[in-house]
A and B are shown apart, each in its own frame.
Chain A
Amino acid sequence: MLLGNERKWTDYFTFCTDHKVIGIQYLVTAFFFYLIGGALATAMRTELATPAPDVVTPDVYNGLLTLHGTVMLFLWIVPAGAGLANYLIPLMIGARDMAFPRLNAIAFWMIPPSGILLISSFFYEPPQAGWTSYPPLSLTTGMLGEGIWILSVLLGGTASILGGLNFLVTILKMRVPSMPLTKMPLFCWAMIATSLLILISTPVLAGALILLAFDLIAGTAFFNPTGGGNPVVYQHMFWFYSHPAVYIFVLPLFGAISEVVSVHARKPIFGYRAIAYSSIVISFLGLIVWAHHMFTSGTPPWLRMFFMITTMVIAVPTGIKVFGWVATLWRGKIAFTSAMLFALGFISLFLIGGISGVMLAAVPFDIHVHDTYFVVAHFHYVLFGASVFGIFMAVYHWFPKMTGRMMNEFWGKVHFALSFIGMNLTFMPMHELGLRGMNRRIALYDPQFTDLNVIATIGAYVMAVSTIPFLINAVWSWRYGEKAPANPWRALTLEWQTLSPPHIENFEELPELITGPYDYGLGYTAERDPEELYAHAVPAPAS
């Protein structure tokens, strides 16, 4: 049986059920929306360069912030995580595809309409109530825009549920027989945790949005106080999804970084079990912390205390991970590849977001900074510092596997330097802004905050520029980059034990587990290039 590994470019525009094609479809689509979300952010920062609402009108500004949040979360980070999971899970566990390939393709093909719908709303009547879409405000800013927002998020949510279902079943049921759970790459552990969160919490968001849609379109009053409804119930339902969602955004990257630091430092991951189980603990705790977003809403005091403690406790499993990564680097042989640089950036930035997260959990302090730029700074350190840095890290690391070409390291480093500087310039001053009294989601602000806002705006431009080297590097390397060997990083996990890019059915012969995923330093050197193993399997032309 000859197995080709060449794909026609047109395959990527079809309803293809190959998990690798779907993975790349997800990643490229997500990146496209990242560019849009970034453009929206740049427009917002331009507006905020001066205190007055002089670049765009305040209602347009609210449209920008709503779309920025929604696009970045639901159309960039979630699909990018799903893309990585789709590409990597079957390869890592030695399966030929996902458990439900057709369902997988269906899930992906919900993303483009969801995104196009959402973006198109901007040209008519953008939703203006923020990505949280709190009623009653969201019921008053225009039915069409808000309706489109709801529909778009429901579509994205459904895609996410179907994806999560697929990941969970695939990881649990499709591993090569010789791979017990405790020999799985940590990325798979992280995806189990992520999938559980998706499956448990996303449907509740769907419930909230269905009720909100009734309020909006049919005129019921579930969340509208004028008809006897209760807006706080929406907040509970929303955050029951949207806090776990933060872990849905970041856990896949926690998994990915565990792969990257180990390979590029050539040392076993420090504390495999602790890191693996902490993902599961995070996903469990993540389900019972949601009301810390509502400390100033009408929440009773005992509820505030309960959620404060659960939120604080999440710092423990998260800390285990961070310390584990640092200890993995310690006494390793660290190669300064772009992937490693982004991993280092990830750890150092996520640390800041984690510390401010613990601070925010403390109710009395949260009461002061809730809904201020301190919170904006905090979640961008987590979502940009960890998630986005993590996604770029993963792309640099797995690009050779996905395309069969190496990325240019020099431009990767330029990309890293610009992102890291831009990110800190933009978001570090926001901590102080929030503490000093600048509330978030405002198009016009107190002139005393101008200086720090100008710095943030400059940082945002640097971040915008940082995308250009990446984009050019990715496109150029895809076409003309240096040919990648099957295992350029000399890694031990299964995805590297096949061709780059892999066969259409992943492995010529299903691999047999010989080592653990991170058994560096035991002499398992690649004595023979895996390419050689498959030398007899001449890539057949794509049929």
Chain B
Amino acid sequence: MNIPSPILTLLVGIFVTIASLWYGQNNGLMPVAASQEAELVDGLFSTMITIGFGLFLLVEGALLVAVFRFRRKDGDEGDGEHLEGNIPLEIVWTAIPAVVVLGISIYSFDIYTRMGGLELMKHDMGGPGKMVEVAYAADAVPGSSTSALGELPLEGDLLESDLSEGELISEAGLGAPVEMADSALSINVQGLQYAFIFNYPDGIVDGELHIPVDEPVELKLNAQDVLHAFWLPEFRVKQDMIPGQETRLVINAIREGTYPVVCAELCGPYHGGMRTQLIVHSAEDYAAWVDERMAALDNGEVIASLPTPAADKTDAEYLETFVDPLQLAIAPESLTALRSE
């Protein structure tokens, strides 16, 4: 076989391109995309996996070819060619990765902006009693020397937003700000060892997250004891829950269904059991669920969907509840504390 090398290079190039484009689209690695954010992230993911897979094929291919073509013959004590480098080639393989990573950076930046990552939200502190500690609050004060970061649109946003007293900017989180319309749903999420407690408007408290589809929902995240992280794999969003500092997420569900809610920050032995589920309802179903919960509330029930550890259960039996990860798990003492509140 004697194929001229430019043609061979071309063939290899075409093969690598096709293979990586195919793999980028058909890797099937990500779970269902159930939110607008998820679709954005998946676009970024397939771009990166396409490039990454191509690079993988090229470098591993070169290695394999080298290994087979350039192995030392038995008894050959000679040296290879004295080739110390090739400046144009080195410039090329410095420049191409540089361009690629800058491209990915810009693309990520765009995705991040569209996910609302750079949107700062005016956050009502809700009176002096409920002080919210915000990391780097000094940076948030317009005109302070540390806030200058010319290239990013952040500064412009900051200067435009008029901060009145009693308002702080909650910088940690993700999601376009929900316009403070009455219809926007805002849910307080409390993380504690080892459960999430969801506080809905109108006093509904639940151990599962119920939201309507096709509507932005704001989640205000707090932690009671240690760090937790609120992760919705099918929504591709995650945010740490930090004691003493409220963080937030805005999610836009686009697909009805039941999805896991996972704690992603080591929070103690039963960290793996700190899971619950997210149920995305149609608008009507959601209204029905709210009505049902309001009715239950009138009947004096406080928290639904929490497992009740019976007094006669042994520790081992109690642990079994963790085997089914979708079952809400909560340490007995925390539960007792919650109920007595």
Interface size class of B (residues with CB under 8 A): 35 or more
Q: A53-B319, A371-B264, A439-B231 are in contact. Are A362 and B79 (CB under 8 A)?
A: no
- Stretch binding the partner chain, chosen from B10-18, B58-66, B295-303: B58-66
Q: Which of B220-264 contact A (CB under 8 A)?
A: 225-227, 229, 231, 233-234, 236-240, 242-245, 247, 260, 262-264
In the complex, whether A52 has a CB less than 8 A from a CB of chain B is yes
Over the window 325-336 of chain A, the binary record of Cβ atoms lying under 8 Å from chain B Cβ atoms (1 yes, 0 no) is: 011011111111
In the complex, whether B90 has a CB less than 8 A from a CB of chain A is yes
- Of A323, A331, A444, which is within 8 A of B81 by CB? A331
- Stretch binding the partner chain, chosen from A84-92, A104-112, A148-156, A308-316: A308-316
**Docked-complex contact B242 and A232, CB < 8 angstroms:** yes
**Docked-complex contact B322 and A300, CB < 8 angstroms:** no
Q: A265-B80, A266-B72, A268-B84 are in contact. Are A444 and B325 (CB under 8 A)?
A: yes
In the complex, whether B21 has a CB less than 8 A from a CB of chain A is no
The residues of B that contact A348 with a CB separation of less than 8 Å are 59-60, 63
**Docked-complex contact B84 and A336, CB < 8 angstroms:** no
Q: Which of A270-316 contact B (CB under 8 A)?
A: 270-274, 296-306, 308-309, 312-313, 315-316
The residues of B that contact A333 with a CB separation of less than 8 Å are 70-73, 76, 78-80
Q: Pick the most buried of A329, A444, A447: most chain B CB atoms within 10 A of its CB.
A: A444
- Stretch binding the partner chain, chosen from A134-142, A394-402, A495-503: A134-142
**Docked-complex contact B79 and A266, CB < 8 angstroms:** yes
Q: Which of A444-477 contact B (CB under 8 A)?
A: 444-447
Q: A326-B62, A348-B60, A436-B30 are in contact. Are A271 and B90 (CB under 8 A)?
A: yes
Q: A298-B240, A520-B80, A522-B82 are in contact. Are A265 and B90 (CB under 8 A)?
A: no
The residues of B that contact A57 with a CB separation of less than 8 Å are 269
Q: A331-B80, A431-B29, A441-B266 are in contact. Are A225 and B172 (CB under 8 A)?
A: no
In the complex, whether B270 has a CB less than 8 A from a CB of chain A is yes
Q: A334-B67, A358-B48, A370-B264 are in contact. Are A267 and B242 (CB under 8 A)?
A: no
**Docked-complex contact A305 and B112, CB < 8 angstroms:** yes
The residues of A that contact B178 with a CB separation of less than 8 Å are none
The residues of B that contact A269 with a CB separation of less than 8 Å are 84
Closest chain A residue, CB of each to CB of B169: A300
Distance (whole angstroms) from the CB of B239 to the closest CB of chain A? 6
**Docked-complex contact A312 and B45, CB < 8 angstroms:** no
In the complex, whether A519 has a CB less than 8 A from a CB of chain B is yes
In the complex, whether B152 has a CB less than 8 A from a CB of chain A is yes
**Docked-complex contact A441 and B271, CB < 8 angstroms:** yes
Query: Cα distance A336–B84 when bound, in Å?
Result: 22
**Docked-complex contact A319 and B93, CB < 8 angstroms:** yes
**Docked-complex contact B83 and A308, CB < 8 angstroms:** no
In the complex, whether B311 has a CB less than 8 A from a CB of chain A is no
Q: A300-B135, A358-B104, A436-B30 are in contact. Are A52 and B323 (CB under 8 A)?
A: yes
Query: Cα distance A521–B77 when bound, in Å?
Result: 11
In the complex, whether A210 has a CB less than 8 A from a CB of chain B is no
Q: A52-B322, A58-B269, A351-B60 are in contact. List 16 more A-B contacts (CB 8 A).
A: A268-B83, A270-B83, A271-B85, A296-B264, A297-B242, A298-B134, A298-B171, A300-B135, A319-B93, A322-B59, A329-B70, A371-B265, A437-B234, A444-B325, A447-B323, A519-B82
Nearest 8 CB-CB pairs, A to B? A442-B272, A521-B82, A225-B244, A437-B233, A267-B80, A58-B269, A298-B172, A312-B101
**Can you list 14 A-B pairs with a CB-CB distance of less than 8 A?**
A58-B272, A62-B268, A298-B171, A308-B105, A312-B102, A331-B83, A358-B52, A359-B49, A363-B108, A363-B117, A365-B44, A436-B30, A439-B271, A443-B269
